[in-house]
Amino acid sequence: MSSWGLLIACQGLVLDGPAGVIGFRPRWQPEDHRSFFTAPEGWGLFIQERTATAQTEEIQVRHGRLSVGELVFETSRAPRRRAAITVNGKAVSGSVTVEGNEVRVKLPRRAIVEEGQALRVVLS
């Protein structure tokens, strides 16, 4: 069980299942990060890629489902205030707030990401 704590610490998991909040603040390889995650109703893969112009976050649900109302991420450069959000390839609207290096993306209503689908956020 102690190794589970290392995974959560390395990926910087932010999770409040009942509130529909999920996010990641990776400490291990934040420029090109991939890690397994678990949530109340499913599990999957989190991928973060940073470039000079954008930061891409992808949450792939491999089993079960994920109910998302708010996403939390951390950036390393100037605050990213625009977010292109897609769920299973379809555009979804959302509002972005920035406080320091923390970016919060709030969806107008919860998105349900089913098994085999992905939620993708491109911050620019």
More reliable by pLDDT, 12 or 106: 106
pLDDT of 6: 58
pLDDT of 21: 97
CATH of the domain at 45: 2.60.420
The one-character DSSP state at 21 is E
pLDDT of 7: 60
Q: CA 103, CA 115: separation in Å to the nearest integer?
A: 26
pLDDT tens track for 61-114: 999 999 999 999 998 876 667 899 999 999 999 999 999 889 999 999 999 999
| Residue range of the domain that includes 35 | 2-123
- The arithmetic mean of pLDDT across residues 20-39, rounded, is 91
Contact 107, 94 (CB under 8 A): yes
Q: CA 101, CA 85: separation in Å to the nearest integer?
A: 19
Number of domains in the chain: 1
